[in-house]
């Protein structure tokens, strides 16, 4: 079983590469953004709870996100592994994920950061914003603010996972196929 945490700043290619990884390794891709949207749209108990925090301008507590992840993992008891995309974002979330997985007799196998220069990522996101309709991809200032948030909160997870010998970094620059090949070379060792 491979359980993978995929990191990277917005625009680094996490979603694109998750599609490749899902197919090649028969893994389930769990995007916390997708989980939130699904639970809110379908008015599940967790979705209603999350929305109540969001409507008040508050951050959704980690436990609500963990509960959503747990429900999603429980839906697939025969899965060969999971790609966690968008979670964890902080060390406390990483610790909570480890505890949750230990309770399932699972663990994170590897974490991979897709690395790319900020200026390249800004160009990617502005281009994506032209077709995606996402307003947060259409404003360079908002994009750079998201990068700063990543640098402050998520980048420190590198040390957390390095201490467990689970952190790896690859270049997120190049064609989709080139990046996918780099990922495969790394994952084929596990």
Contact yes or no for 22/28 (Cβ under 8 A)? yes
Phi-psi region of 83 (alpha: psi -120 to 50; beta: other; left: phi over 0): beta
| 146 carries an active-site annotation | yes
SS3 190: coil
| 134 carries an active-site annotation | yes
| 124 carries an active-site annotation | no
Q: Which of 22, 51, 144, 146 is catalytic?
A: 146
| 14 carries an active-site annotation | yes
Q: Across 39-155, where does the E strand assignment appear?
A: 81-85, 110-115
Q: Which of 23, 24, 37, 134 is catalytic?
A: 134
Q: Which of 22, 51, 123, 128 is catalytic?
A: 128
Complete DSSP assignment for 9-46: -TTSSHHHHHHHHHHHHTPEEEEHHHHHHHHHHTT-HH
| 144 carries an active-site annotation | no
Q: Which of 22, 89, 123, 182 is catalytic?
A: 89
Catalytic residues: 14, 89, 128, 134, 146
């Amino acid at each position: 079983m491979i359980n993978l945490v995929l990191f990277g700043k917005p625009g680094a290619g996490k979603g694109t590469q998750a599609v490749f990884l899902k197919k090649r390794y028969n893994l389930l891709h769990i995007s916390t953004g997708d989980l939130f949207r699904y639970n809110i749209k379908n008015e599940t108990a967790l979705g209603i709870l999350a929305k109540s925090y969001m409507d008040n301008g508050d951050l959704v507590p980690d436990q609500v996100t963990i509960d959503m992840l747990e429900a999603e993992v429980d839906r697939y008891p025969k899965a060969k592994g999971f790609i966690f995309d968008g979670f964890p974002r902080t060390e406390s979330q990483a610790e909570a994920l480890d505890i949750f997985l230990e309770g399932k007799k699972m663990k994170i196998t590897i974490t991979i950061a897709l690395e790319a220069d900020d200026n390249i990522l800004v160009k990617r996101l502005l281009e994506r914003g032209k077709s995606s309709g996402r307003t947060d991809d259409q404003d360079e200032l908002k994009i750079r603010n998201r990068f700063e948030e990543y640098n402050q909160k998520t980048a420190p997870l590198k040390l957390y996972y390095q201490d467990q010998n689970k952190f790896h970094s690859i270049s997120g620059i190049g064609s989709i196929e080139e990046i996918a090949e780099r990922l495969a070379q790394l994952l084929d060792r596990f």
